[in-house]
Amino acid sequence: MTLKEAITLFGYHQRSNLRARTVRSYQPLLQRFEAEFGERSFDSIGSDEIFQFLETVTGDRCKSTRRLRYAQLKAFFNFLIDKCNLNMKNPCDTPLLSKAFKTPKPIARRILDREIVEELIYNTQTLRDRLILELQARCGLRIGESLKIKVSDVSDRKLV
């Protein structure tokens, strides 16, 4: 199967199973991929060629765009391997590509200890700020939710 036929098959799958916005996001990449490798058999494309292609397509883009284009190309090859029942390895799964387009490690959030939260609430100067901090800490409200509370939302000592 040529790459052009594979892209057409993938396009039919996308239009029937995915949202229009997702389909549109794949189009520029697949069009350039077809222009580059159109008449070749898709299983003859190596990881070095894919790396060179991704570098030319995303060379001046930000890292998140580069990772997105890599993930899209990887999904394309995974679809073809799965649908055509091929016994081949995805050329995008090589260490060269995985390392070049890897996702960054997530930043761990630091959660405040109970004692620190209690001290913050106790040391607050105004009653309004203290109430906001109490609501956030005790009820799990976000700042926007706590700022939208009206007097009519409080009944007796309960938040309705």
For residue range 59-117, what is the model confidence (pLDDT) as tens digits?
A: 888 888 899 999 999 999 899 888 887 788 888 888 888 888 888 888 888 888 999 99
Q: How do the domains of the chain map onto residue ranges?
A: 3-100, 114-149
CATH class of 3-100: mainly alpha
Inform me whether the pLDDT recorded for 159 exceeds 80: no
Q: Which runs of consecutive H residues, i.e. helices, occur in 18-102? A: 20-37, 47-58, 63-83, 95-100
Could you tell me if 41 and 26 are in contact, meaning their C-beta atoms sit under 8 angstroms apart? no
156: region left, alpha or beta (phi > 0 left; psi from -120 to 50 alpha) = left
How many CB atoms sit inside 10 A of residue 88's CB? 11
pLDDT of residue 60: 85
Inform me whether the pLDDT recorded for 10 exceeds 80: yes
